């Protein structure tokens, strides 16, 4: 087994001795490979390998040039880095079986619970607030699920990425782009499962086009929440700090999400928060998708007759679904850009190695030539030389022992 070019040897060896549970064929082939490796190592006679001593002197400048050549050769091209990192990110996302199973169960369980609470909503006046409450809970649940998953994993992954980037293995751009693309299928699966179970149970707007728009809105919101989680994970040093900061920021966006406080009644100093709240735009898009074209039962003249009247009464009208999706896309790009800048700024920094000066390389002690004369030096001159050359080691005053 030969390690391919531009592949981390540690990851290659880890994959070589690991069992792939993606399918029955992969399990069989990986187990067979591991058994062959064990047998080969057990039958191979032990041998001691000694490092070959370096011959010749290599100056510091030549060593630095040699290291730069190795780093440049190892780094490879941009697209080469991207494809290798994309393959690794996809393996990481698809092989995380326990986490994906838990997220699948939680998405289905949440949809069943919400669908049971809001079971088969009718067209009465009281169902207006029920529909808005369900859509608000849907937006919150989707965002929190994506956020907590990202902030719980990314800080640990960032430590490994920082080490690999410090070694010159790859650049930040290919890594971040490959990670985002690899997580699109997995990240979109859970909102789609949630919507597929909840939509018919709650009997929301019963058309296939509205169901498709519903799933699209919650999927875009899930991606925006994941991007926010990447930013939070890039800001703080540990997973615990990220788990504390992420939900706190999301709580602020929930308060200004359009259901508890409308944008018109928000204080002036806080009016920028609803524009930056992914909960608000997702909730507004879901409401427009649900209420447009609905007609409700009326018993009094002041009752709400159509869904458009409900949207304007609760300050959710005056826009379209496309505008809400564009707003969420802008928020998503903002969080991705902030993540890139933070990772670029907080990358490990080391002192630059400098070659020692030529004066420092020369030995400090200089050997003087021996005098060829056989005449001994006078006693006083020898004592003076010893006093000059010798350094005081013990500063204790001399003393004399007198015998009897």
In the predicted structure, residue 73 carries a pLDDT above the cut 50: no
| Residues composing the chain | 404
In the predicted structure, residue 71 carries a pLDDT above the cut 80: no
Q: What is the pLDDT of residue 13?
A: 80
pLDDT band of 336, cuts 50, 70, 90: very high
Tokens of 253: 């966006």
Q: Could you give the CA distance from residue 334 to residue 328 in angstroms, rounded to a whole number?
A: 10
The mean per-residue pLDDT over the stretch 184-195 comes to: 90
Q: What is the pLDDT of residue 61?
A: 47
Q: What is the pLDDT of residue 296?
A: 85
Q: Could you give the CA distance from residue 69 to residue 67 in angstroms, rounded to a whole number?
A: 5
Helical (H) or strand (E) element with 382 = helix 379-389
In the predicted structure, residue 110 carries a pLDDT above the cut 70: yes
Q: What is the pLDDT of residues 140-157, one digit of tens each?
A: 999 999 999 899 888 888
Strand partners, 306: 295
Q: What is the pLDDT of residues 26-57, one digit of tens each?
A: 888 888 888 888 888 777 755 544 444 444 44
Least confident residue range of 51-65, 119-133, 367-381? 51-65
CB half-sphere exposure, 337, CA atoms < 13 A: 6
Q: What is the pLDDT of residue 353?
A: 62
Please list, residue by residue across 198-229, b when 16 or more beta carbons sit within 10 angstroms of its beta carbon and e when fewer do. bbebbebbeeeebbebbbbbbbbbbbbbbbbb
Q: What is the pLDDT of residue 390?
A: 47
- Spatial CA neighbour of 229 closest among 210, 251, 212, 249: 249
Q: Could you give the CA distance from residue 155 to residue 272 in angstroms, rounded to a whole number?
A: 29
Q: Could you give the CA distance from residue 96 to residue 106 in angstroms, rounded to a whole number?
A: 16
Q: What is the pLDDT of residue 50?
A: 45
- Spatial CA neighbour of 71 closest among 183, 170, 190: 170
The mean per-residue pLDDT over the stretch 120-139 comes to: 88
Q: 356 to each of 251, 301, 366, how far by Cα in Å?
A: 55, 91, 20
CB 131 within 8 A of CB 291: yes
In the predicted structure, residue 222 carries a pLDDT above the cut 50: yes
Q: What is the pLDDT of residues 278-319, one digit of tens each?
A: 999 999 999 999 998 888 888 887 888 888 888 888 888 888
pTM: 0.69
Q: Could you give the CA distance from residue 401 to residue 404 in angstroms, rounded to a whole number?
A: 10
Least confident residue range of 68-77, 106-115, 242-251, 287-296? 68-77
Q: Could you give the CA distance from residue 339 to residue 231 in angstroms, rounded to a whole number?
A: 5
pLDDT band of 172, cuts 50, 70, 90: confident
- Spatial CA neighbour of 217 closest among 165, 155, 143: 143
Q: Could you give the CA distance from residue 388 to residue 381 in angstroms, rounded to a whole number?
A: 11
> Comparing 266 with 65, which gets the higher pLDDT?
266
Q: What is the pLDDT of residue 349?
A: 65
In the predicted structure, residue 68 carries a pLDDT above the cut 50: no
Chain mean pLDDT for the chain: 79
In the predicted structure, residue 400 carries a pLDDT above the cut 50: no
């Amino acid at each position: 087994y030969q390690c391919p070019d531009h592949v981390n040897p540690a990851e290659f060896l880890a994959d070589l001795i690991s069992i792939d549970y993606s399918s029955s064929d992969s399990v069989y082939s990986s187990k067979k490979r591991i058994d062959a490796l064990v047998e080969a190592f057990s039958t191979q006679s032990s041998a001691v390998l000694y490092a070959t001593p370096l011959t010749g002197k290599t100056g510091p400048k030549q060593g630095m040039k040699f290291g730069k050549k190795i780093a440049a050769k190892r780094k490879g091209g941009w697209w080469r880095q991207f494809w290798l990192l994309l393959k690794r990110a996809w393996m990481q996302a698809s092989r995380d079986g326990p986490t994906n199973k838990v997220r699948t169960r939680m998405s289905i369980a949440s949809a069943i619970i919400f669908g049971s609470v809001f079971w088969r909503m009718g067209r009465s006046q009281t169902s207006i607030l029920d529909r808005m409450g369900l859509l608000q809970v849907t937006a919150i649940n989707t965002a929190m699920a994506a956020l907590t998953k990202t902030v719980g994993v990314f800080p640990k992954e960032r430590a490994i990425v920082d080490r690999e980037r410090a070694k010159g293995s790859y650049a930040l751009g290919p890594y971040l782009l490959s990670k985002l693309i690899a997580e699109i299928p997995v990240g979109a699966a859970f909102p789609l499962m949630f919507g597929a179970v909840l939509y018919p149970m709650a009997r929301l707007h019963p058309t296939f086009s509205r169901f498709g728009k519903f799933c699209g809105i919650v999927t875009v919101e899930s991606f925006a929440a994941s991007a926010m989680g990447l930013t939070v994970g890039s800001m703080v040093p540990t997973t615990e700090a990220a788990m504390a900061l992420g939900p706190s920021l999301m709580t602020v966006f929930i308060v200004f999400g359009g259901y508890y406080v409308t944008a018109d009644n928000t204080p002036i100093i806080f009016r920028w928060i609803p524009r930056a709240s992914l909960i608000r735009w997702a909730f507004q898009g879901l409401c427009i998708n649900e209420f447009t074209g609905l007609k409700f039962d009326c018993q009094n003249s002041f009752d709400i007759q159509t869904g458009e009247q409900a949207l304007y009464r609760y300050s959710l009208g005056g826009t379209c679904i496309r505008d809400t999706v564009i707003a969420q896309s802008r928020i998503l790009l903002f969080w991705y850009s902030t993540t890139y800048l933070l990772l670029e700024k907080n990358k490990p920094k080391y002192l630059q190695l400098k070659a020692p000066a030529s004066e420092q390389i020369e030995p400090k002690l200089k050997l003087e030539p021996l005098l060829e004369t056989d005449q001994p030096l006078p006693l006083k001159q020898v004592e003076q030389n010893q006093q000059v050359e010798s350094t005081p080691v013990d500063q204790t005053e001399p003393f004399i022992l007198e015998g009897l």
